[in-house]
Every structure is written in structure tokens, then in C-alpha cells.
Amino acid sequence: MFSKLFNPDSIAVIGASHDPRKIGYVVLKNLASHNYRGSVYPVNPKGGEILGYKVYKDVSEIPDVDLSVITLPAGLTVKVFEDVAKKSKFIIPIAGGFGELGPEGKKMEQKLLEIAQKYGARIVGPNTVGILIPSTGVNTALIVPERSRFPEDGVLSFITQSGALGLLTMDSFAMYGVGVHAFVNLGNRVDVNENELLRYFGEDPDTKAVVLYIESFRNGREFMEIAKEVSKKKGVVVLKAGRTSRGGKAASLHTGALGGNDAVADGAFKQCGVIRAYNEIELMDYGRALAYGKPLNGKRIAVVTSAGGVGVVTTDYIESNVHGVGLKMAELSEEIKRKIKEEIVPFASAENPVDMTAQASDDDYDEVLRALNEDPNVDAILVYALFQTPLISEKLVDIIVKWHKDGDKPIVVGTIGSEFALNMFRKFEKNAVPVYPTIERAVKALRVLYDRGRILRRWNE
Amino acid sequence: MFSKLFNPDSIAVIGASHDPRKIGYVVLKNLASHNYRGSVYPVNPKGGEILGYKVYKDVSEIPDVDLSVITLPAGLTVKVFEDVAKKSKFIIPIAGGFGELGPEGKKMEQKLLEIAQKYGARIVGPNTVGILIPSTGVNTALIVPERSRFPEDGVLSFITQSGALGLLTMDSFAMYGVGVHAFVNLGNRVDVNENELLRYFGEDPDTKAVVLYIESFRNGREFMEIAKEVSKKKGVVVLKAGRTSRGGKAASLHTGALGGNDAVADGAFKQCGVIRAYNEIELMDYGRALAYGKPLNGKRIAVVTSAGGVGVVTTDYIESNVHGVGLKMAELSEEIKRKIKEEIVPFASAENPVDMTAQASDDDYDEVLRALNEDPNVDAILVYALFQTPLISEKLVDIIVKWHKDGDKPIVVGTIGSEFALNMFRKFEKNAVPVYPTIERAVKALRVLYDRGRILRRWNE
């Protein structure tokens, strides 16, 4: 349904510009530099050439296209819209100045919708940064490339009502090597909405989890029905902003849509198997947990660390319901404890957390993970990959990747530190291991995988 | 009292080694590469020279020193200890293998204490990574420099019972340019303890806030008394690990000390003006808030952003008591709202959050911050410095630094993104501005500054 939006054979850029500061230039630049392989038709009355693309003087001169991006201001967008709609399957009007400004703007965007419907075109926006699909090179977003990063290809699909929050979030996670399969900014959502997209990504084999930033639902009941179906197949994470009355007011000023009652939303999310995030970090962290990790079948966590204090704080976070997630530290079986203590790491504490101390080697980690994988008292393993001690090497990444892939038990990884740790983080990420840079974030990911296990068991009852 | 520990005129390294993998080499290397400017006396029966330092064959050959670092194993440490104690004001026995292993080890470390007391020497440790004082170049910690970072000089003093957790935390914050004035790992804490150090750093003009990682208090009542005095002058943040019963068990396995009842601790912390952290990130985040920020005199927060969604999520976090901090969004005065809307940013939403949209320029930020500084309805400002939009430049850092320094109102900064944002973060940090890389962390810092304001008003009643 949306395949020609995300993987279009041809793109028209209405309002193409020679000025590098203009979005009409940036979109072309994005297409050029992200290796979009389809045909590109820039339109500008001046004609000429931009970035090697031939510029058409009028929309009437271009052939039919899968996608048109309109980079003109609101007034001009309305003016040109019918000509564009005649030729396009999908249209992304970037400009703000529509419904978010009041009734007059609402009328203008309704007009866009009427025109689109007349010609069977679909609209993403207006008032949107548009879409970003790393795998096909389609990218309509405006950022300053020296100061921001676009994400690489990944397995999360990200639907957001706020373009800026979405881009900022992807920017900060891009440093950690986190990519997206698709990014869609709904903008004023005059046509294409989160429900259709969620259903689409639910069926999309390249999407392993869907994350949504939503200030107000187009149709909450329908969303819940779709989310319920999708959550049978893959994880769905929602950051519902405007959950407080004051936040709801801020949201209404932002996108002109009103949020609902948060307690109602919360109950509905639970019923439909939606995992809830409360900020931009949780949104991506949870999405990654669901996309990469195995669901837990029980609460009993084994923790492996070379730093004793990290083990203690982790234990508190696992066990506590306040500043913690209410899971349980596993009681390791006697046989496994004996094995760890006598055969693997005699210098370690073979209780749980298994504190291997700074003397631990890569191979010690390997053997301890093997032992914990065999322990029937363990439902999941949180392993800290800490690269600051002398006997640990980059090989530890491969060892943990192996156990994540081949072991029976769900594994979540914590890796704490600066540049070197960040590089190792990226390696884990590349191998689709759920990895987190702080204690709290690692433990919360475990909780999400536990919740995911409960959801799946419920659907399978 | 501890000045010759942190700023020693002379350091002996007992057990100096030619082997770069040995701590007896690393300590010398640290002293050399961090530009320690006092005298260094390596001791090793083989003699010779290491890293340009002349090696003494026996402790008897060296003069009296301010600090001796013993890098020998536990047994040898005991053997050599009396000779060392005769010559030293302070001794750091690095080796583990003492009290943390059981009664036998306890006896050994008690012996160290007796000897030290006989000669009037003080012990930090044993079983410790020792101390790290960037300003004097004293650093006894073992890390692999290619894989970890030491922090630069800063204004936080960090007392930790866990060396590894402390080093990991400093490593991850070093990437953000966060430094420490002093780092002390108590280890088995046979002598020097957190109470003496807290009192010392409380008086220390170079320490703007004290952060502590503690699994068990040496003397909780005394700690609270000292903390109460110190908190009249500067912020004190405690991460009390082992707060759950299972975490307490993990802590006792880790450092051999038993934690107390957490609810009791919580009440005592509140009474004594101690800010509580629950993980390594909060510990440093809160310490930085207290060291750099102004305490709040009220709950009313104004939020400035160029990203609408960030404003909405921030509003939720400010207002909510669940997944939030229970502060209030300020009701901007009509005069200020008018000014913002009519004179500064007509394209912006002049409600609170002030959403200046992607059209905002550096100067717009300047003027909006000026206006909010004048609003009597505002107790503090949370400003998002987002560098991804075209009209924002690095100048925005200077503008915010100026308002942080010269404005009346407390300011907390959020800056979200990857490498470029990280660089700007470091600039804010260098200028002692409380800056945070995520929404939640920025809002929590505001709450800590609000709590700090309450504490100070209580002490001044």
C-alpha cells in the first residue's frame, strides 16, 4: 500500500531551489547523497540544472511520478496542488502554515485533501519533515549535515507526529549506530495517519518493531485494534506525549490536536499489547529491545559483571519496584554455582550477580555464559561487557553475540564508558544485540522483554 | 588534613615494575603522563630505572614521603608494611585479598591498621584503585588507556566504595567533558572513611559538590551529622547501593560490609539535606546540577525549545508525579507573552513551553531568555539548545552561558544529538552550565535544584 511512498521509482521536487539553505535544495541534495536510484524531476519556473538534475519549468512538463515533494510555502502549495495531484501517487507538502495556525489553515489543508482524493493521491503532512528511508535513499528532511546525523538502515520503523523530536531522537541514537528502516513524520496528518502506517509496518518484513511518538490519536479505538493485531507479530512502542493536562495543552498548541485521558490510554495500551515509553530514550531503547531481544518467560535474571558495584546497583534496579522494575534476581542452581566457582572463575563471587572481578578474561565470560545458559533457574541474562580491564578484549563482543544468537536464554548487554565503549556498543548494535550504555537502561530493557513475553503468552492462550 | 594525600610532595611506589601490564608500572606511568610534579621513589629489589625514574632497592633507601602506594600482593603488602609506615604520611595498599575474603583477611587488614596507627600513618584501602587528582597528577588507578578515559580537572569530589563503578562512571562522563576535583576509592576502608573525607571536601574550596557511592556506612549517624553540616555549604549526593534486601546481599559479597534499612536511610538523607541518586548517571548528573546550578526558589518552570515535541514531553515530565518530577509549568505573565509574541518571535508559540520552531535564531534565544528572566512568574528556565536547525550557530552556547552567569534565574540546558551536540555539551560543561543530553535528565536536574533550594531555606530558617 505504501510501498511506492517508501520505495518510489520516481520523485518530483516541486519548488526545487539553487539555494543550499532552502529545503527545495536540501531534498535534492539528500536524494543525491543518499544514493536514491530512481528518477528525479525537480520543478522550478527558472529551469536549468541543480546538482546535476535537469530542472523542469512546470509541473505539466514532468511525467507521472510515485512521489511528489512540495517544498513551497503554504499558499503556493495550495496553488500548485491540483497539478501535482494529477501526476502523483503520494504527495508530501513540507510547509507549515496550515491547520496548526487555526481555522483558516484547517480549511486550506482540507482543500488539499479534497484535491488529493479527487485524483486518488495520498498526502503525508502538511507541516512535516516528511519521510526518511535509508535503504532506498528517500529523504525529505532538512537538517544541517555538519551538525546532525541521519540514521543508517535498521529494523525499527518510526512514526512520529513531531518531526523535530523524531529527527533529534534519530540524531542522538545515530551516534550509537542505531538505524531505522523507515521514518515518517505525520505532520498535520490531513490524510495518511498512524493507523494505516502501523498496519503497514506490521506486515512489513523489514520492520522488526514499530515505535510511535503520538500527541493525539486520529482514531484511538482503531489504533488499539490495529496495535493488538500487530503486537501479535512484533513489538509496538508508543510515546504518548501530552499525558498530563498541561502537556496536553502544549500538544494542542504544537500540532493543533487534542489528546485524551491518560489513564484510559494506559489501560488501552496494556490491553492491546502496546509497550509504553515516556521519553525519547525509552522509545528507541524499548524498540531496540523488542526488535533484537528474546521475550522472557519468567522474572529470574542472572547478572554477570566484572565490576562489583555495577552488580549491586543492578540488583537494586532489578528487584525494586521504586526506582526499579520489579523483576527477580535468579537463585542460581547449586550445580551451576559449583561449576562457576570451581571450574571457571575461582576468584569470582559465584552468587548472583556473578562478579568476576577485574581479573576476568574473555574466555571466563564465555564459560560463565555457557553455564548460566544451562541453569534452569535462570530466565534471562544481563551481562556487562566492560572493556576497561586488562584481560578483556574486543573478542568479548563476538562471544556475547554468539550467546545472544545461539543460546536459549534472552540476553541483554550493558556496556559503560566513553569512546571505546561506544565503538563496542556499535558492534553489538550491528549484530542486533540489545545493548545499553547505563545500568538503568539495561534493566528497563529486561523489563520490556519480560512484558513482551507476557503479551505473547496472552495472545497465545 | 588530607592535603598531603591529594597534593603530596613525594610519592613512593612500593612494588614498582618494568612490566607494563603490572599495576606497579601503571602507577608510575600515570604519575609520569599526568605531570605529577613532586618527587617519585619507585622501590623494587632489582633496582635500575623505570620510565626515567631511579628505582630504589629497598624501602629503607628512600626518604620520608607524603604518600606511599603499595602495588604488591596482599601477603607481601603485610610483610613490607611496617617499613613503609615508618616513612609515610599516607599509604594506599592497592591489593585485594584482605577483609573481603573473610575473617583471615580481616585480621590481615587489622594488622595494617595497627602498624599504621603506631607510626601515625593513614591508610586508604586496602583493596582499592586508590585516588585520582587531575590537578596534581596523582593517579593510582589501573585502566587500559586505549579503552578508557581519565577525567579532567573538575569541581566534583567523588568518594566511592566501589573502585570499578567509580572508574566506569568517570569514564563515561569524561566523554562529555565532565571532570572531578578528586576521586577516592575507599576499598575495604580499614582506616580513612567516607565521613572524614566528606568533612574534608566540605571545607575544600575546590570542591563545589560531593558525590558518594556507598554500599554501607562506616558510621551512619556520624555521616548524617557531617552531611548536614556540609549540605549547608554545598551539595551532597549519595548513591546508596544495596537498598533492596537482595542488593544488600550483593553488596555484602562485594565489599564485605552490611547495609542497613533503606527506608531509615531515606528519611535520614532527607533530614540531613542529602540528595539521593539511584544510579551512576543520576549521581553525576545531580552532582553537576548542584555544583553548577542555582537553587530554585519555587516550582514554576519556563521551557524554551525549537522542537515542539520536546516541549510537550518536557511539560509532561515537569508536571507529572509518575514518570516526572512534580514541578509546575510557569504561567507566563501577559506582558512577557506579549513581548515574546509581538517583539521577538511572532512565528512562535508564546505560551509555555515557548516553542520557537525551527525558524529560531541565536538572537531570538537571547531575547526570549531576556524576557523570561524578567518574568516574575518564572522560577527557573529549561532551555533546549538544539543545533540541528539552520539559523542556530555555536554562538547559542555563549548566549546561554551569559544568561546562566548573569541572569537572576536558574537555568538548566538540554542539548540532544550526536557528535556536534556532544561538542556543544562539552562547551557548556567547560563553562559550568548544568547541561543534559536527554529530556528526562534535564528535568530531573531541575528537580534536584528545587530540592536544593528547599534544603537551603530549611537551614536558613
Q: What is the pLDDT of residues A260-313, one digit of tens each?
A: 678 888 899 999 999 999 999 999 999 999 999 999 999 999 999 999 999 999
Residues of A in contact with B279 (CB under 8 A): 313, 317, 323, 438-440
Nearest chain A CA: its distance from B408 CA (Å): 26
Q: Where are the beta strands (DSSP E) in B190-315?
A: 209-214, 235-240, 275-277, 300-305
- A320 to each of B221, B247, B347, how far by Cα in Å? 25, 9, 46
User: ipTM of this predicted complex?
Assistant: 0.96
Task: List, in sequence order, the alpha helices (H) in B36-102.
Answer: 74-87
Residues B391 and B328 placed together within one structural domain of the fold: yes
Please check whether residue A332 is in contact with residue A351, taking contact to mean a CB–CB distance below 8 angstroms.
yes
Is residue A11 one of the residues assigned to a domain? yes
**pLDDT value of residue A259:** 52
A244 closest CB neighbour out of B172, B309, B320 = B320
Residue B231 falls inside a structural domain: yes
A52 to chain B nearest CA, in Å?
A: 24
Same domain assignment for residues B87 and B218:
no
Number of folded domains that form chain A = 3
Alpha carbon of residue B90 to chain centroid:
23
Give the model's pLDDT for residue B256: 56
Are B11 and B85 in a shared domain? Answer: yes
What are the C-alpha distances in Å from B298 to residues A277, B327, B336, B445, B453?
A: 29, 9, 19, 14, 8
Say if residue B273 is in the same domain as residue B300. Answer: no
> pLDDT 10s digit of each residue in chain B, 461 long?
899 999 999 999 999 999 988 899 999 999 998 889 999 999 999 999 999 999 999 999 999 999 999 999 999 999 999 999 999 999 999 999 999 889 999 999 999 999 999 999 999 999 999 999 999 999 999 888 889 999 999 999 999 999 999 999 999 999 999 999 999 999 999 999 999 999 999 999 999 999 999 999 999 999 999 999 999 999 999 999 999 999 988 887 766 554 567 888 889 999 999 999 999 999 999 999 999 999 999 999 999 999 999 999 999 999 999 999 999 999 999 999 999 999 998 888 889 999 999 889 999 999 999 999 999 999 999 999 999 988 999 999 999 999 999 999 999 999 999 999 999 999 999 999 999 999 999 999 999 999 999 999 999 88
Report the interhelical angle of A395-406 vs A362-374 (nearest 10°): 10
Q: A382 and A264 in one domain?
A: no
Which pLDDT band holds residue A257 (cuts at 50, 70, 90)? low
Q: Is residue B193 part of a domain?
A: yes
- Strands (E) located in A269-357: 275-277, 300-305, 328-329, 354-355
Instruction: Answer whether residue B258 is part of any domain.
Output: yes
pLDDT at residue B250, rounded to an integer: 85
> Domain check: are A71 and A165 in the same one?
no
Q: What is the predicted pLDDT for the residue at B390?
A: 84
Cβ–Cβ contact B364 with A under 8 A: no
Q: Is A21 on the interface with B (CB under 8 A)?
A: yes
**A262 with A322, same domain?**
no
Give CA–CA dist A188/A256, Å, rounded. Answer: 8
Q: Determine, yes or no, domain membership for A215.
A: yes
- Distance between CA atoms of residues B241 and B380, nearest Å: 31
| CATH number reported for the structural domain that contains residue B106 in this entry | 3.40.50.720
User: Is A413 domain-assigned?
Assistant: yes
CA distance B127 to chain A (A): 12
Q: Do B100 and B198 have their domain in common? A: no
Residue A308 cell numbers, joined = 562489583
Show residues of chain A in contact with B146, CB under 8 Å: 420
Q: Which of A247, A264, A292 marks a domain boundary?
A: A292
| Same domain flag for B35 and B174 | no
> Does pLDDT of A105 surpass 60?
yes
Q: Report the C-alpha gap between B435 and B395 in whole angstroms.
A: 16
Q: Of B94, B128, B162, which residue sits at a domain end?
A: B128
From the list B165, B172, B278, which residue is nearest A417 (CB)? Answer: B172
Q: In which band, very low, low, confident or very high, does the pLDDT at A325 lie, cut at 50, 70 and 90?
A: very high
Is residue B340 situated within a structural domain? yes
B253 and A306 within 8 Å at the Cβ level: the answer is no
Q: Which residues of A touch B247 (CB under 8 A)?
A: 312-313, 315-316, 319-320
- pLDDT for the residue B101: 87
Nearest of A412, A396, A422 to residue A450 by alpha carbon: A412
Between CA B448 and CA B425 the distance in angstroms is: 20
Determine, yes or no, domain membership for A135.
Answer: no
- Mark which of A103, A128, A153 sits at the end of a domain: A128
Decide: residue B7, CB within 10 A, 0-12 exposed, 13-18 middle, 19+ buried.
Answer: middle
In this structure, the answer to whether residues B311 and B446 fall within a common structural domain is: yes
The CATH number covering residue A367 comes to: 3.40.50.261
CA B201 to chain centre: 12
Residue A22's domain spans which residues?
A: 1-128
Give yes or no: residues A336 and A236 share one domain. no
Residues A342-358: pLDDT tens digits? Answer: 999 888 888 999 999 98
Please give the average per-residue pLDDT across A65-94, as a whole number. Answer: 98
Residues A327 and A186 occupy one common structural domain: no
Give pLDDT, residue A264: 82
Nearest to B162 by CA among B260, B103, B96: B96
Range 258-287 of A in CB contact (< 8 A) with B? 278-281
Q: In the predicted model, what is the mean pLDDT of chain A?
A: 95
Lowest mean pLDDT among A143-152, A365-374, B86-95: A143-152
The confidence score (pLDDT) of residue A263 equals 81
Determine the pLDDT at residue B264.
82
pLDDT of residue A384 exceeding 90, the answer is yes
- The Cβ of residue B114 has, within 10 Å, a number of other Cβ atoms equal to 12
